[in-house]
Amino acid sequence: MVSSLDPVAERVGLAPTNPQLLTALTHSSYAAEHEVESNERLEFLGDAVVDLAIADLIVTRFPELNEGSGSLVRSRVVNEAALAEAAKRLGLGDALRVGRGVIRENGAARPSLLADAFEAVVAAIYLERGYEAAKNFVHASLGDDVEQASKMPGDADPKTLLRQWAEASGRGTPRYEVISRGPSHDATFQATVRLGEAVVATGEGRSKKSAESRAALTAWRDHLDA
């Protein structure tokens, strides 16, 4: 009998019974209900591997990009929305193990869960097959996104836009403070962005990254309207 894990396992190059893969597809809500390990530690590792692999791709395949434009391209690819789309293409949502509360709210489709699962899967590949395999997987999954972003490197994400404006205007580097509300499987995050000691904007999201991005976008738009 073919399980929902089999197609994903084939796409990522790991056995369906591989324990690292199973952990990578285990959300904290499921882990708490079944007393197993969640994918949070793998997501932490995968975040670094994805970042390195994309930087590697930019430097080796796009020599026309300098440090600044390369950083902008990377920020447009290594973010929650882009990683969630990559996870959807791989069908990770169908194989993701989540708790009952998340199932009731169709939470497995949340971009934050999908993005974290993608990074965790990358970490599983890295641990089982090494960096080259993980790098090749990231390049295959996100290479088209990098190519598209390289054509318009100036289209930066809100946090980058805000940082560039703030530093250029002598206001320093924006600082973000994030708090969460609600249970871990259904948390809402609120981010506050400060310039110096002044609070300039707040934003909410289903993940820390999205909350920070929305706070930065609000601050950036306020700057344009000022």
Catalytic residues: 47, 119
Strand order in the sheet with 198-205: 175-181, 188-195, 198-205
What H or E segment, with its residue span, contains residue 195?
strand 188-195
What whole-number distance in Å separates Cα of residue 135 and Cα of residue 54? Answer: 8
Torsion, Cα of 104, 105, 109, 113 (10° steps): -90
DSSP for 64-108, written as a single string: T--HHHHHHHHHHHSSHHHHHHHHHHHTHHHH-B--HHHHHTTGG
What whole-number distance in Å separates Cα of residue 210 and Cα of residue 208? Answer: 6
